[in-house]
Amino acid sequence: MNVAIVDLGVSNIGSLRNLLDRLGMPHYVAREPSSLESASHLIMPGVGAFDTGMGALQASGLVASLTTHVLRRRVPILGICLGMQLFGRRSEEGRLPGLGWLEADCVRLPDQSAMVPHIGWNTVEVERPNTLIPKDAMRTKFYFAHSYHLVCDDPQVVIGRTLHGTRFASVIRRDNIIGAQFHPEKSHRYGQEFVRSFLHVTPS
Partner 1 sequence: MRRTRIIPLLLLDEKKLVKTKRFRNPAYLGDPINAVRIFSDKGVDELILLDISADRKKRGPDLAFIERVAAEALMPICYGGGIRTVDDAVAILKAGVEKVSINTAFLDDSRILSDVAAVAGRQSVVCSIDVVKNSDDRSFVHGAAQPIEAISAAREAVHRGAGELLLCAVDRDGCRCGLDIELIGAVSEAVSVPVIAAGGARGKEDFISATRAGAAAVAVGASFVYYGKHEAVLLQYPDDVDLDSYLP
Q: Does 102 bind partner 1 (CB under 8 A)?
A: no
Does 29 contact partner 1 by CB under 8 A?
A: no
Contact 158, 127 (CB under 8 A): yes
DSSP state of 178: E
Which has the closest alpha carbon to 151: 99, 94, 96, 109? 109
Q: Compute the least distance from the CB of residue 11 to partner 1, in Å.
A: 7
One residue of 37, 111, 125, 175 binding partner 1 per CB under 8 A: 111
The gap from C-alpha 134 to its chain's centroid, in whole angstroms, comes to 18
Decide whether 73 or 188 has the Cβ nearer to partner 1: 188
14 makes contact with partner 1 (CB under 8 A): yes
Q: Binding of partner 1 at residue 164 (CB under 8 A)?
A: yes
Minimal distance in Å, beta carbon 81 to partner 1? 9
- 52 binds partner 1, rule: CB under 8 A: yes
**DSSP label at 23?**
T
Catalytic positions, written as ranges:
81, 183, 185
Of residues 1, 188, 200, 203, which one binds partner 1 by CB under 8 A?
188
If binding is defined by CB under 8 A, does position 47 make contact with partner 1?
A: yes
Taking the least distance from each CB to partner 1, the nearer of 7 and 127 is 7
Q: How many residues in total does the chain contain?
A: 204
CA–CA distance, 105 with 90 (Å, rounded to integer): 5
Ranges of beta strands (E only) in 23-154 are: 27-29, 41-46, 77-81, 90-91, 104-108, 118-122, 125-126, 142-146, 148-152
Segment near partner 1 (CB under 8 A); pick from 30-38, 71-79, 115-123, 193-201: 115-123
Judged by CB under 8 A, the residue of 6, 13, 99, 169 near partner 1 is 13
